[in-house]
């Protein structure tokens, strides 16, 4: 997106789960990338962002922090938040995020069952209300957004009822004791509620770019039918269906938008009907179905093996880490240039693998 001149034009970057680690790094480095050039390209992005991501990928966190979380007076969530603080974010708080673009770290509120958002200006959800000018550590926000259940969740916020304010319209507090919910905020991975992290952007912006690194649903013969195996498989099926519905709705909005776009813009009437511009790509997207004459190709066997890499906070090995970077770059470039029909794409040199 940077080489296409799009990243510098981003107004909002929303993230869930592991994507919030990358978004957190992006946010803390934003001022270091330099002013965009005449083509909208941030000159220092690659040489600053990529080494940080690859260095963090060499960490071994999940087993150690989960094990430490078994000890008294701590939890795995507390331990992983401390690791993020030590390795990535230091003592930065949400107030230290850039004023532009807006970064939104999405978590799931297990009490209210809705999306809980961490931003520079506020933290909260549409039922609880919001905490203005939050002094919450960035490491805590990222840990809450990436609190994969059950091992890395929940993240419990250290807040009080008086920290919250009501939303101006105050229409969403539907028959609940909001005060009770504000006394204890229990959060888990934002992907539980919105696996694609699109809720903060889908209705607000004409153009949406969505990167989905979630594990693809595996179709396998069922050998074990004990209760635990059934519950796990049912949860996987439900998650896959919800993701598929969101994905289909998103791609349909792009199809409609591409059909009505004129000179790179969509009328207000069409926007109200759900038309959008942008692109979607996933870790298991079939590159052969995206026609692009100069698009980068990754060996299909390699792409399939990379899509099957388990989600871990542990070093996958140098080859896999770099392979994931190259695969993500290739499928993002192919998807954006093939499907995005809006303005502001830079016609630069042919794409080349980052590594």
Q: Give which of 20, 54, 25, 45 is closest to 321, Cα–Cα.
A: 54
- The strand ranges marked E within 241-329 are 277-282
For residue 256, the domain's CATH number is: 3.40.1090
CA distance 276 to 345: 16
Q: List the Cα angle 55/98/167 in 5-degree steps.
A: 120
The residues near 185 (Cβ < 8 Å, ≥ 6 apart) are: 109, 111, 116, 128, 156, 157, 159
| 3-state DSSP of 11-35 | CEEEECCCHHHHHHHHHHHHHHHCC
The whole-number pLDDT of residue 291 equals 83
CA distance 280 to 332: 8
Asked if residue 354 belongs to a domain, the reply is no
Asked if residue 351 belongs to a domain, the reply is no
The label of the residue with tokens 């997106």 reads 1
Q: Which domain holds residue 102?
A: 7-339
**Positions of the chain with pLDDT lower than 70, given as ranges:** 170-175, 344, 346-349
The whole-number pLDDT of residue 179 equals 87
The whole-number pLDDT of residue 175 equals 63
The residues near 262 (Cβ < 8 Å, ≥ 6 apart) are: none
Asked if residue 350 belongs to a domain, the reply is no
CA distance 190 to 117: 9
The whole-number pLDDT of residue 239 equals 84
- Into how many domains does the chain fold? 1
Asked if residue 146 belongs to a domain, the reply is yes
Q: Give which of 269, 119, 130, 151 is closest to 206, Cα–Cα.
A: 269
CA distance 314 to 60: 4
The whole-number pLDDT of residue 219 equals 80
* Region class of 272: left (phi > 0), else alpha (psi between -120 and 50), else beta: alpha
Q: List the Cα angle 94/98/104 in 5-degree steps.
A: 55
Confidence (pTM): 0.94
Asked if residue 346 belongs to a domain, the reply is no
Would you call 86 exposed, middle or buried from its count of C-beta atoms within 10 A (0-12, 13-18, 19+)? exposed
The whole-number pLDDT of residue 174 equals 59
CA 286 to chain centre: 21
* Backbone φ, ψ for residue 69 (5° rounding): -70, -15
Neighbours of 140 (CB within 10 A): 26
The whole-number pLDDT of residue 235 equals 85
The whole-number pLDDT of residue 349 equals 64
CA 322 to chain centre: 20
Q: Would you say how long the chain is, in residues?
A: 355
Asked if residue 168 belongs to a domain, the reply is yes
Asked if residue 313 belongs to a domain, the reply is yes
Asked if residue 61 belongs to a domain, the reply is yes
Beta bridge partners of 130: 124, 165
């Amino acid at each position: 997106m940077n080489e296409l001149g799009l990243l510098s034009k981003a107004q909002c970057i929303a993230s869930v789960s592991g994507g919030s680690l990358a978004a957190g790094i992006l946010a803390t480095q934003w001022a270091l990338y330099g002013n965009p050039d005449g083509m909208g390209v941030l000159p220092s992005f690659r040489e600053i962002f990529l080494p940080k991501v690859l260095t963090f990928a060499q960490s071994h966190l999940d087993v150690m922090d989960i094990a430490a979380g078994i000890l008294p007076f701590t939890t795995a969530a507390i331990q992983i938040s401390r690791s993020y603080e030590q390795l990535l974010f230091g003592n930065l708080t949400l107030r230290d995020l850039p004023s532009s673009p807006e970064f939104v770290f999405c978590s799931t509120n297990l009490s209210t069952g809705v999306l809980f958002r961490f931003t520079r200006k506020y933290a909260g959800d549409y039922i609880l209300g919001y905490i203005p000018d939050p002094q919450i550590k960035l490491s805590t926000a990222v840990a809450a957004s990436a609190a994969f259940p059950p091992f890395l969740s929940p993240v419990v916020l250290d807040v009080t009822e008086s920290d919250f304010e009501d939303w101006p319209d105050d229409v969403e507090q539907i028959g609940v004791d909001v005060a009770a919910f504000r006394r204890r905020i229990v959060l888990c991975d934002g992907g539980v509620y919105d696996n694609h992290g699109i809720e903060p952007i889908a209705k607000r912006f004409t153009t949406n770019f969505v990167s989905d690194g979630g594990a693809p649903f595996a179709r396998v013969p069922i050998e074990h039918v004990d209760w635990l195996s059934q519950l796990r498989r049912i949860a996987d099926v439900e998650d896959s269906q919800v993701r598929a519905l969101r994905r289909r709705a998103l791609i349909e909005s792009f199809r409609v938008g591409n059909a009505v776009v004129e000179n790179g813009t969509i009328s207000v009437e069409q926007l109200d009907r759900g038309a959008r511009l942008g692109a979607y790509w996933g870790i298991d997207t079939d590159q052969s179905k995206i026609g692009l004459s100069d698009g980068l190709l990754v060996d299909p066997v390699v792409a399939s093996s990379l899509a099957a890499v388990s989600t871990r906070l542990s070093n996958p090995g140098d080859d896999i880490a770099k392979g994931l970077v190259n695969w993500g770059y290739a499928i993002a470039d192919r998807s954006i240039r093939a499907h995005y029909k809006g303005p502001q794409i830079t016609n630069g040199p042919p794409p080349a693998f980052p590594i």
